[in-house]
Amino acid sequence: MLKKTVIFFLALSALFLLYVFCVEPYWIQEKHVSISNVKIPVSFSGTKVVFISDIHYGTIFNKERTAELVERVNNLKPDMILLGGDYVSGSNTKIWKNIGDDRLSDCFKELANLKAIYGVYGVLGNHDHWQNAAFARKCMAEAGIELIENKGKWITKGKDRIRIGGVGDYWEGKQYLGPVLKGTTPKDFVILVSHNPDYIENMDSDAIDLMLSGHTHGGQMSLFGFYAPLVPSNCGQIYRTGVIKKGSTTLVVSNGVGLIRPAVRFCTRPQIIVVDLK
């Protein structure tokens, strides 16, 4: 009996390790989020915004997997694509800083193939700063992806408009909301991209209608989705994953598509966020 019990638990442990290392990290889900807001002009109803974050090229993402991700996103036929940063896994230690910049260039060579009617926009994450922020911005520009850190941009359909913008990374960059909101009125629908969801604690929540973030990876390893022991946030579990309402802002936190080491996930499947405006 004892021998059978030991064999059972060894087999169960082996299956668990197989799942967390070899199955869930690669099992990307498309999470659809419907956003209804009276500020959204009728002409923008049905607009599809795809948000991807935390590729961490060089961990489990290589050229082939990134190309597959791009193809999958393009097959969704998005009207707009927003990128949430952490394109590579960088290091904040001086000895490794700026080593492996080829990962940035390789990643953005694939991301250059993203296609959306109203364009592709993005911000940087803390890992991009740890790697080489200046080079990341250069690669992004060469890929035809518009950097919207501390900037705002109007997306127009005839006389109708919505505003998109972004802020710098909460850990390694600077955040200026003023340029994002410049020229807006209380009637304008505003989308903000912030790599780190903790920024919502320091911004004027009433000014932003929809905020898209990544960074947390959902904690990577969670207790069946209810709690994660390790979350890179000053706010604990509050902004770990999912859709959260704070004031007038709807915050959507993605688990991201990639991960950092140890390269495991449990009950935090990688995500492509598909936002449907209504």
Structure tokens at 12: 């169960």
| CATH for 28-277, options being 3.30.450.20, 3.40.50.800, 3.90.1150.10, 3.60.21.10 | 3.60.21.10
What are the two backbone dihedrals, phi and then psi, of residue 231, each rounded to the nearest 5 degrees? -130, 125
Instruction: Indicate the pTM of the whole model.
Output: 0.95
C-alpha separations of 121 from 10, 36, 97, 109, 111 in Å: 47, 22, 25, 15, 11
**Mean of pLDDT values over 79-93:** 89
Distances in whole angstroms, Cα of residue 58 to Cα of each of 65, 121, 152, 210: 11, 22, 31, 30
Structure-block tokens of residue 129: 């700063």
Q: Where are the domains of the chain?
A: 28-277
Long-range contacts of 90-97 (CB under 8 A, 24+ apart): 90/126, 90/127, 90/128, 90/129, 90/130, 90/131, 90/132, 91/130, 91/131, 92/126, 92/130, 97/130, 97/131, 97/132
Assess whether pLDDT exceeds 60 at residue 208. yes
| Identity of the residue numbered 88 | V
* 97 against 34, higher pLDDT: 34
Q: According to DSSP H, which parts of the chain are helical?
A: 2-18, 63-75, 102-111, 126-142, 178-181
Better pLDDT: 147 or 207: 147
